Chain A
Amino acid sequence: MFDPEVWIMLGRGLLESLYMTLVSTALAYLLGLPMGIAMVVTDKEGIYPRERFNWILGLIINLFRSIPFLILLIMVLPVTRAIVGTTIGTNATIVPLVIAAAPFIARLVESSLKEVDKGVIEAAQSMGASSMQIITKVLLPEARPSLIVGAAIAVTTILSYSAMAGFVAGGGLGDIAIRYGYHRYQTDIMLVTVVLLVLIVQVLQEAGMRLARLGDKRK
């Protein structure tokens, strides 16, 4: 129904979307995972309570989470230019994606780790485990299924954020949808991009849930 060029463009858009999403997710976890761990560990019920630090970190996370992504995208343009050298294209989109997703991931990680039974942590403490050993040998492995579910949520959320980057010529399927569907009234192309996005979300979500179930030894 479309010219071959349109399909090629859609294929490139798909790859760009996946690239932005996966790289952003990986980088956002590099920031968000330690933040989430820090939130749990320094909680007043945590294994290394530091209430003031916890409060400040929580505040920073909330601050970034409360900025709508589209506004954040524009706000961080100078940062993007400083890091990537440009404000358009997929690499430029990764910067705001990471900044937006890291605090969100921190909260996901926090809630996963909080599910770990306090008794198991206490047992590890009674054996003389240090805080670091408790994090690496108890908190993270015991929360693994929940962390994987969280990762599936994170990656699909980041994908939908990445589609918004089309507004600032960020590349990917969202960009195509805006350029063709919004600026040129070519609704059919826009619909195809939406279908493709739905499919990616479906696949990623399902894969995540399956991985989490498979690795869970609780049943």
Chain B
Amino acid sequence: MSDDLPIIKIEGLSKAFQGPDGEFFALEDINLEIKSGEIFGIIGMSGAGKSTLVRCINFLERPTQGTVYFDGQNLSDLTKKELYKIRQSIGMIFQQFNLLMQRNVLGNVCFPLEIAGVEKDQAVERAKELLSMVGLSDKTYAYPSQLSGGQQQRVAIARALATNPKVLLCDEATSALDPATTKDVLMLLKDINKNLGITIVIITHEMKVIEEICNRVAIIDKSRIAEVGSVEEVFTRPKTAAAKRLVFPEEHSIEMVPGKRCCRIVFNGNSSFEPIIAGMVLDFRQPVNILFADTKNIDGKAFGQMVIQLPDNELTASRMMEYLRAKNLTVEEVDGYV
């Protein structure tokens, strides 16, 4: 990642809507910098304001206060025409795909080029190129209603990339898809980021989407940014209550046994083939109590965390923590759960 100017910079942004009981703030004092070339995730519960935030990036929603810079330009300074022009550099895909139902796949991908005033022949050529990139060349003349959700989202991605944007905004782009298709679409986005160098901003309410492809993440909670950091950081050591709620959704279901030492173990890309906890129990001949575990196996590596209760014996407990640290795990003692 370069130290260049951020491609998107949001400063002191607020957005108010006129609600039934007067003004209501969907966003308050948002400050964010999104670097060129990264995949940036914005996660939050529904109603947290994340959809409004992503629409402020291309000014589909005008902020009530604050500034949005795109590629160094203050969007508030632009005339309508200039704004239309700059939107061609910001592709966007949606949860419901939003394809034109009366146009075939080729017509849909040509659509943004038509708007940009590109010659028809050139547009068709470019559209075919993109369709082959998203693996849908055989559906060129099909209509959206004949395609599956995953295929429709691929068409939408091809369409969003038609004008060679610098940034691709994804508003809950995988929320209407099944898990397998979600994975395919995420991999496609990852490839696009890697091969075309397009910055991607992903809005989602699903932690797994963030885990899967994002470099950095912002957690948005009750109209404000609660936490920003690398995915690793935020995911393994959430600092704020909002972050913890997202990372440990089942928190409330665990009863604490007081008076015993607990420790949190963070798996951060260790081999998932090595049975670490079981090995430790066998080595020490002492049981440990697993209070919480949320680990995932991604490409043979373990990610996630576990909270275990150590034996009462101080010495054994300390030695166990040493043992885990020796296995390159992050271990920290916690007084209570979370």
- B94 in complex: contacting residue of A122, A128, A129, A216, CB < 8 Å: A122
Question: Are B87 and A128 in contact, CB atoms less than 8 angstroms apart?
Answer: yes
User: Are the C-beta atoms of A144 and B102 separated by less than 8 Å?
Assistant: yes
Query: Is B114 interfacial (CB-CB < 8 Å)?
Result: yes
Tell me the bound Cα distance from A142 to B101 in angstroms.
Answer: 7
Report B-chain residues with C-beta under 8 Å of the C-beta of A129: 84, 115
Q: Contact mask B118-155 → A, CB, 8 Å, 1/0?
A: 00000000000000000000000001110000000000
Contact of B115 with A126 in the complex, beta carbons under 8 Å: no
Q: Which of A119, A124, A217 contacts B102 (CB 8 A)?
A: A217
B104 and A217 within 8 A (CB): yes
A123 within 8 A of B: yes
Query: What is the minimal beta-carbon distance from A131 to any residue of chain B, in angstroms?
Result: 9
B115 and A217 within 8 A (CB)? no
| Interface presence of B329 (CB below 8 A) | no
A residues in contact with B143, CB < 8 Å? 217-218
Which one of A125, A141, A145, A216 lies within 8 Å of B103 (CB-CB)?
A141
A127 touches B94 (CB 8 A): no
- Residue A137 contacts which of B80, B88, B96, B115 (CB distance < 8 angstroms)? B115
- Residue B145 contacts which of A122, A125, A130, A218 (CB distance < 8 angstroms)? A218
The reply to whether the CB of A133 lies closer than 8 angstroms to some CB of chain B is yes
Q: Is the CB of A119 within 8 A of B94?
A: yes
Task: Known A119-B94, A122-B60, A217-B145; judge A127-B102 contact (CB<8 A).
Answer: no
How many residues of B are counted as interface, with CB atoms below 8 angstroms from the partner's CB atoms? Answer: 32
Q: Are A120 and B98 in contact, CB atoms less than 8 angstroms apart?
A: yes
**Is A135 in the interface zone, CB < 8 Å from B?**
no
Chain B residues whose CB sits within 8 angstroms of the CB of A130 once the complex forms: 80, 84
Of listed B90, B98, B143, residue having the most chain A CB within 10 A: B98
Name which of A129, A130, A217, A219 has the most chain B CB atoms within 10 A of its CB: A217
Given the interface contacts A127-B115, A217-B143, does A142 sit within 8 Å of B102 by beta carbon? yes
**B39 interfacial by beta-carbon distance below 8 Å:** no
0/1 per residue, A202-219, Cβ < 8 Å to B? 000000000000011111
**In the complex, which of the residues A120, A126, A145 contacts B87, with contact meaning CB atoms closer than 8 Å?**
A126
Chain B window 96-122, contacts with chain A (Cβ cutoff 8 Å), 1 for yes, 0 for no:
101111111000000110111000000
Which residues of A pack against B, CB within 8 Å?
117, 119-120, 122-130, 133, 137-138, 141-142, 144-145, 215-219
Q: Which 3 A-B pairs have the closest CB atoms?
A: A128-B87, A128-B84, A123-B98
A-B residue pairs in contact (CB < 8 Å), sample of 21: A117-B96, A117-B101, A122-B98, A126-B58, A126-B60, A126-B91, A126-B92, A127-B111, A127-B115, A128-B83, A128-B84, A128-B115, A130-B80, A133-B115, A137-B111, A142-B102, A144-B102, A145-B102, A217-B143, A217-B144, A217-B145
